[in-house]
Amino acid sequence: MNDKMRIFLLIIPFVFLSACASKDILIKTEIKEVKVPIKCPLKLPLKPLDKKDLESAKEISKYYLEVENIAKDLLIALLFSTFALALLYLFEIFTRN
């Protein structure tokens, strides 16, 4: 056999086997914002019993005002911490250069 025929016979298996080679797997990363629920750290006072009189109505109204104030304080704290995190993120972005 001549040299050209030997080279041809050596190349044929590589051509056929290369078609069966594994393909490169493309990995696509997608970043998605996921909201994670957190346990509310509120410590609520005990709710007074409704005895259908004026005094129990006053106690219940005080209870609801106190709960509302606790919720407002928590909301202000959450907004402040979110604002602080946003500022830290912006600071990190601008100081990377």
Instruction: Please write the tens of the pLDDT for every residue from 42-96.
Output: 788 888 888 889 999 999 999 999 999 988 888 888 888 888 888 888 888 888 7
What are the extents of the domains in the chain? 45-97
pLDDT of residue 14: 74
Q: Identify the CA nearest to 71 among candidates 44, 39, 37.
A: 44
The rounded distance, in Å, linking the Cα atoms of 48 and 58 is 10
What local confidence, expressed as pLDDT, does residue 61 receive? 93
Q: Which residue would you say has higher pLDDT here, 25 or 44?
A: 44
Cα maximum dimension of the chain: 115
- Mean pLDDT for 27-45 is 79
Highest mean pLDDT among 13-22, 26-35, 63-72: 63-72
